[in-house]
Structure 1
Amino acid sequence: MIHDLFVNDLIEWIDESGNNCIERVLWIDEGYVIAFVYDINAKTGFPEARKVSEIREAISDGRALKLKSDPWARIVRDEDLSEKEKELRDRAWQIILFIVTQEPSIYYRDYRGSLVQQVIEKYNAGRTEGELVPITVYKYLRRFWQRGKNKNALLPDYANSGGKGKPKASGDKKRGRPRKYAQVPEIGIGRNVTEEDKRIFRFAIAKFYKNSKENFLTTAYDLMIKEYYAEDFYYDDNGVKKSILIPPDKRPTFTQFKYWYEIEQTDIRKTIISRKGSRKYALENRAITGTSQMETIGPGSRYQIDATIADVYLVSLYNPNWIIGRPVIYVVIDVFSHMITGVYVGLEGPSWTGAMMALANTATDKVKFCQEYGIEIYEDEWPCRHIPDTILGDRGELAGMNVETLIPNLDVRIENAAPYRADWKGLVERQFRTIHGYVKPFVPGYIDTDFRQRGGHDYRLDGRLNINEFTKIVIFLILQHNNHNYLNNYARDEMMIADDVNPIPIELWQWGIANRSGRLRTFPEDIVKLNLMPAEKATITARGIKFKGMYYTCEKASKEFWFEKSRSSLLSKSEKSLNVSYDIRQPNFIYLRSPNGREFEKGWLLESQQRYLDKNFYDIDYLLAYEKLQNQKNQGTRLQAKADLIANIESIVNQAKEETEAVLDDTISNRQKVSGIRQNRADEKNARRKNEAFELAKSESTNADNTKNPINTQSEDSEASKLLQPDHIDLLKRKRQERKSGKE
């Protein structure tokens, strides 16, 4: 038979009124028929016998429960006990040792009394004081039975002595240690804290301590005394209101104030948040209960990325006399193995561009990458050219539209650290400290603690390295970390220990690839870069593919006659819209992404857009914005000029109306006016030809003479010719004069 009831088991009997009783099983007979139990909370009484079957049935019916935890269970080490505690425990044990071994006799009333009496007689033999009495023996027995039937059950409850944390009633006598100089009037014996004092304490804590000013507790106490323990006030010579405090022995001390603050401080988390805010609490004061490699299965489960501005000044590649400032370092680390899988050292960022460069480097062949800087390595020294399952980064760089293409096309999940939670990327932060630690002793231009202090050295002038040389140093630091850095705090699991894997990043990486692979993936470098580049919409127009105010073309556009179709309105609105990727540093090209994100068509600037060639999108945006600004600034001048033009036109028209209407002949019908258009035009043309004819080497005097008498210079033949041909102008004048005369 499988027994399900044992000595020291706790059975809770369910009472419908809610007064449940918990009994401890003290003894069970060999046949599992009778068990002796005792109420673990009883003040009096003795063990009782119960049938084992009764207990089992009650548990089966739900009338009783078998408890899994013991409220009296204690883990006690002798070295943690005081001498007094051990003395009292051992004395009690010696008294009842003989009795408790007499099972089951001790549980029966008839035998128990005689056993107790034997112990008392033996103990008191030869004693004249401090004699043992039955009540003391029964007290020890009850404690032994209730608290688990072991020697340490007899320990005194010193932990409950004094009622620590429980408020005491105030009396006339001063509680606590008497003051050494209580007889001095300025000190006095002091006072007990009253309920009114406690109310003031609470209010002062809320007003002066639990706020964003982060006052010291002593400051809060001083402000409280000034405001709530003053008996009067006065104005000094400068008109400043000052308090007159009550005597020292009438006001609470800082020790009392601090004591009651700590007593009533039940939620330290809430207090810190009220003073520092939730962000700072999460970063500086939260409990640290996990490790970085938690929730990582193997290499590539999670990468961490972050940036820092290096504490060193660099000079230009093109001119060593140019100081270009401090470089930005982006580092990508595999959480499982602590391998640095990607890096970027440059002048971009901290921004998406810098993060993009570092993430692209994770998929780059590191042998070729190092060769660019004159460093020769083997593949197994830096075998990281993969895309991870998850990337944990900063909200600034990895939040928003820039990374949306990573999710569907490369199947990379993005995790963003909460605001002001740099500790979530602890691996990267520690690596930055390591880099700075190696750089400081050797690199000129490193910023020391006295930078920008008055009289401090200007470290900017010490810069000697260019960005490529500094990148080489960073690469060597990464190689040293990956291949030789022993991770003392790395928590190896049982499999790693069994395989004798050293906590060195390269060994952890290789072991993880062999035993925990499946998270790393490889993609062509161009495809990774394509999906890391920002993406926006472009439009097909008759002039080209319009993107950010510039026009591009591509082979596909030429083959499929996109621009001709656009001009002929043969493209729908959706067909005109294109998804393109681009590099903000290089406007010469755009990349038309396919829907699967793994193919692309390369586009380039049209020849008509050469003013944008080799610029960056920041410069281009500035140029376009500047031109727009200039356009808006000149708009007022243009409107003024237009207003002046309209005024001039209106003046001319009005004058012409007046002059024309003054000589109009109302006797001529509209038909007659219209029928003479051709002849009138011919007459007007001949007259204008004389005025519009070219005359070279024309002098002002000649011009003046011709103005006065334009026919003086004509020959006699010309004069005769003129007499033979009618003068149309004179003819028109005569006819107009005749009409006026006839009308009159």
Structure 2
Amino acid sequence: MNFYVNEILQDYQQESLYRILWLDPSNSIMYILELNNPKAFPEKKLVSEMTDLIVVGEWRKIIDNSYDVIVSNEYENKHYEARDAAWVIIEDIVKEEPAIYEKSFRTELIKEVQEKHDVTYPTIRKYLYKYWSRGKTIDALLPDYKNSGAKGKERKAGENKRGRPPVYGVKGINVDEETKRIFRLAIEKYYLTSKQNSLTAAYKFMLKEFYAENIYYENGVEKVLLKDEDAIPTLTQFKYWYQKEYNASEVLTARKGEKRFNKDHRAVLNTSQSEVFGPGSRYQIDATIADVYLVSEVNRNWIIGRPVVYLVMDVFSRMAVGMYVGLEGPSWAGAMMALTNVVADKKAYCSEYDIELNENDWPSRHLPEILLADKGEFEGYNVERLVRAFNLHVENAASYRADWKGIVEKQFDLIQKKVKPLLPGYIDVDFQERGAKDYRLDAKLTLKEFTQILIKQILQYNTKHYLKSYVRDRDLVSDNVQPIPIELWRWGIQNRTGKLRIVSEELVKLQLLPRGNATVNHKGIQFKGISYSCDKAIKESWFENARMKGSWKIELAFDPRNMSHVYVIDETIGYFEECYMLEVSKRYEGLSLDEITYWRQQERRIEQDQNHKQLQKEIDYIADVEAIIKQAEKEKKAHQDRTLSKAEQVGAIRDNRKVEKDRQRKVESKPIIEKQVEATEVILFPQNVAETDFKRPNVREFLKRRKEDKNE
């Protein structure tokens, strides 16, 4: 990072501004002076220290011309004489750089000048501060007062009517202080409001309220009688004083509201790249809900709704440096997935979607210096994780200020226009109108297929898209750099480095991936309905201990795009370990959390439907059982021998059992062999074999023979 003399730095914490007074040739030491503090003295700082403060976002460089002295014709000779007199006093002092910035040397010099020019210490001190704080030029010593004369002063109203003579004989009135007070009240009450009244309407309301001579009633309605024409201000006078006292920004802010004024009516004097130096100076991130309906990869009959698309854009090069497509968000989880993709190996990322990529076509895998985002997901405690882990300065755009993120907003619009003619299930402008087509039924693409389309579109944009509105600076024009994102990025990497920072993808995942609590029990690590295990759990017998001592909770980080693996977190030692799916959950491998959740929901719906059917069957079973019991009770009652005592009934159980057993044996004993013979086709044996050798044995012989064969 380079610093320059007279640059202004801002300390965020103290809300103070400083000007750089001097830098040594080796760019290791600087002297700075606090502005807006006449008692301040130059301070010595290490360049490396200031660089670190800017990188972490505690300080920043700013452009502030309010301290510059602009010489105008309003200065008189006496002002220049005062300037020259002051310069004579401090000229010999300020030339002694950098020694003058050290207190001991400066004190001696000031004493010598006091004696030489017979001036006081505070006078010299005042001249030195003005010279240093205002840019180290002689004109910085010009006095702060100017003789502006009567320019811009209003003339007081007298008895005679001012202005041009009336054309049609109506004199009107002079606009005195009281009239101007009425004008202001009327303009603020009837014009500077959200009702959007016209200026003429405001004038009429003013006349009704302030210039009524009398009132009268007509059909029960109160009406006012205006004063004579010569006693009321004209519409021209009213408009004149309105235009004189109110500027466009005040009027639009009052009538449209500050948020809408800033968004739609403010002056646009800068381009986005005016705030950046090179690649990585500033990224913009935003999310939108795509206008297309998708289906599940598990079952294409399941319509899963519209996906959320996150994009991260580099302001300098306009290159898309990261993306996320899913059903998560817009939320912190979705934003973190997009930032994780920012530092990801894009070649490996594209290969997950069966897209071959040349690394040079998407070389971005860095974190920026500043990230501009919406309030929403980037406001609150979560953002502290970014600051703490990566010293990433996060700026939040104000509400209704999408124009602050114009680059990423424009890219969303470009994506929608590119893919609209191609996608089934794309929502048209007539969506939800009566009689309009239901585009949800046209859904064909899965989340993975839609992501493939967006990746290809982004690759085409990064490498081919010509940025017509990009304003190239002199260096870009000199090197004949075409305003194509990849060309701007490559040139910036070679010529304007220093903002990009390499961070390992694993570290980003550890810090930024969404987290959740999982349960360790005897069946594995249970998370979102999925069972996992890991080497650490096997070595330390987690599952056996859970069976003996009970389950417990652990924290996991997970990538909702692919739930094949999750990560056990232990921040105390900076440790995380990858967990893999157990066989019982292998069916979910390669799917996103959204798809798995939808799958499980569908299974629960099916289960719920089956539960009702099963319940009906159980009710039918109960009815059948009750019918059998009822018939049994009827039979019992019809054949009951009431002459038997309870003792006789209980005492005969053994004999009754024996009789029933014999009866049951007779019922169950069936001629097994005869049944087989009847059912078996008759096979003729050769005639030379004696028939007596194949007589059918009886049942007892057959069972005996089979038992002997079994014992053998």
User: What CA distance in whole angstroms lies between the structure 2 residues aligned with 1:598 and 1:301?
Assistant: 31
Does residue 591 in structure 1 map to residue 567 in structure 2? yes
CA shift in 2, pair 1:416/1:245, >3 Å:
same
Alignment CA distance shift 1:541-1:294 (3 Å)? farther
Give the % identical residues. Answer: 45
Distance (whole Å) between structure 2 residues aligned to residue 205 and residue 360 of structure 1: 53
What residue is the counterpart of 2:658 in the other structure? Answer: none
The Cα offsets for residues 530-588 of structure 1, whole Å up to 9 and x where unpaired, read as 544212345656786576798865442342234565677799xxxx6633213557777
Deviations 1:598-629 (A, max 9, x none): 73231657969999999758669999x99xxx
Distance 1:449 1:565, change over 3 A: closer
Shift of 1:477: 4.2
What CA distance in whole angstroms lies between the structure 1 residues aligned with 2:299 and 2:532?
35
Distance 2:440 2:525 in 1: 48
How far does residue 592 in structure 1 lie from its aligned partner after superposition? 0.9
Would the alpha carbon gap of residues 710 and 331 (structure 1) be closer, same or farther in structure 2, given more than 3 Å must change?
same
Give the letter aligned to residue 183 of structure 2: F
SS in 1 for 2:273: coil
Q: Deviations over 1:350-379 (max 9, x none)?
A: 334543443343334444555666655533
Which residue does 1:197 correspond to in 2?
Answer: 179
- Distance between the aligned counterparts of 2:577 and 2:283, measured in 1? 27
Q: Look up the match of 2:60.
A: none
Match among 636, 649, 658 for residue 699 of structure 1: 636
Q: Is the 8 A contact 1:9 1:67 kept in 2?
A: no
Out of 541, 556, 566, the position equivalent to 1:561 is 541
State whether residues 301 and 390 of structure 1, in contact with CA within 8 Å, keep that contact through their aligned partners in structure 2: yes
Counterparts of 1:299-698 in structure 2, within 5 Å, are 299-310=279-290, 327-367=307-347, 369-370=349-350, 376-400=356-380, 405-409=385-389, 412-439=392-419, 460=439, 466=445, 474-487=454-467, 490=470, 492=472, 495-522=475-502, 528-538=508-518, 553-562=533-542, 578-583=554-559, 590-595=566-571, 599-602=576-579, 604=581, 616=594
1:264 aligns with 2:245: yes
2:155 counterpart of 1:168? yes
- The root-mean-square deviation of aligned C-alpha atoms, in Å, is 5.6
In the aligned structure 2, how far is the partner of 1:320 from the partner of 1:579? Answer: 34
Asked if the contact 2:534–2:577 (Cα under 8 Å) also holds between the matched residues in 1, the reply is no
CA distance in 1, matches of 2:441, 2:530: 43
Greater shift, 426-435 or 245-254, is seen at: 245-254
Instruction: Pick closer, same or farther for the CA change 1:439–1:172 going to 2, 3 Å.
Output: farther
Q: Which has the higher contact order (CA 8 A, sep 6+)?
A: 2
1:3-22 to 2 correspondences below 5 Å: 22=79
- Which residue identity is paired with 1:254? L
Quick one: structure 1 residues 476 and 565, their matched pair in 2 at CA, closer, same or farther if it must change by over 3 Å? Answer: closer
For 2:83 and 2:636, locate their aligned partners in 1 and report how far apart those are by CA, in whole Å.
Answer: 142
Q: Quick check: which has more Rg, 1 or 2?
A: 1
Q: CA deviation digits over 1:199-244, x for unaligned, max 9?
A: 222222333334444544444333323322333445554x554444
Residue 332 of structure 1 and its aligned partner are, at CA, apart by 1.4
Q: State the distance in 1 between where 2:592 and 2:175 align.
A: 78
Distance 2:300 2:600 in 1: 30
Corresponding position of 1:650: none
The whole-number CA distance in structure 1 between the counterparts of 2:420 and 2:636 is: 86
In the alignment, structure 1 segments of 5+ residues that lack a partner are: 1-7, 14-19, 28-52, 73-145, 148-156, 627-694, 719-744
What SS does structure 2 have at the residue aligned with 1:283?
helix
**Match for 2:178: what amino acid?**
E
Contact 1:584 1:618 in 2 (8 A): no
Counterpart pick for 2:235 among 243, 254, 257: 254
Q: Mark the runs of 5 or more structure 2 residues left unpaired by the alignment.
A: 1-70, 85-112, 128-137, 606-631, 656-712
Give the secondary-structure state (helix, strand or coil) at the position aligned to 1:699: helix
Matched AA of 1:592 = V
The more displaced of 582-591 and 423-432 is 582-591
Contact 1:178/1:189 (8 A) holds in 2: yes
Change (3 A) 1:219 1:236: same
Counterpart contact for 1:553–1:606, Cα < 8 Å? no
Letter in 2 for 1:265: Y
Which residue identity does 1:253 align to in structure 2?
A: T
Q: State the AA in 2 paired with 1:298.
A: G
Equivalent residue runs for 1:14-93 within 5 Å: 22=79, 57=117, 62=123, 68=140
The equivalent residue for 2:685 is: none
8 A Cα contact 1:313 1:327, kept in partner: yes
Compared with structure 1, are the counterparts of its residues 564 and 375 closer, same or farther at alpha carbon in structure 2 (3 Å cutoff)?
closer
Of 185, 188, 207, the match for 2:189: 207
Matches of 1:551 and 1:448 in 2, distance apart? 42
Larger mean CA deviation between 400-409 and 202-211 belongs to 400-409
Q: Report the CA distance shift for 1:706/1:210 in structure 2 as closer, same or farther (over 3 A).
A: farther
Alpha-carbon separation, structure 2, partners of 1:603 and 1:374:
22
Measured after TM superposition, the shift of residue 490 of structure 1 is 4.3
Asked whether the equivalents of residues 83 and 143 of structure 2 are also in contact (C-alpha less than 8 Å), the reply is no
Q: Call closer, same or farther: CA 1:245–1:387 in 2, change over 3 Å.
A: same
TM-score, length-scaled by structure 2: 0.56
TM-score, normalised to structure 1, is: 0.54
The letter of the residue matching 1:533 is L
Aligned-partner Cα distance in 2 for 1:175–1:395 = 54
| Amino acid in structure 2 at the alignment position of 1:601 | E
Cα displacement (A) at 1:386: 3.5
3-state SS of paired residue (1:705): coil
Structure 1 residues 699 and 288, CA, compared in 2 at 3 Å: closer, same or farther? same
Q: 1:220 aligns with which of 172, 189, 202?
A: 202
Contact between 2:288 and 2:330, CA under 8 Å: does it hold in 1?
yes
**Cα distance, 1:315–1:619 mapped onto 2, change above 3 Å:** closer
C-alpha distance after superposition, 1:368-423 (max 9, x if no partner): 55566665553322222334344322222333455555455556443332322222
User: How far apart in 1 are the matches of 2:299 and 2:578?
Assistant: 38
Moved more, 438-447 or 278-287: 438-447
Q: How many residues align?
A: 512
Deviates more, 1:385-394 or 1:286-295: 286-295
- Separation in 2, partners of 1:472, 1:544: 34
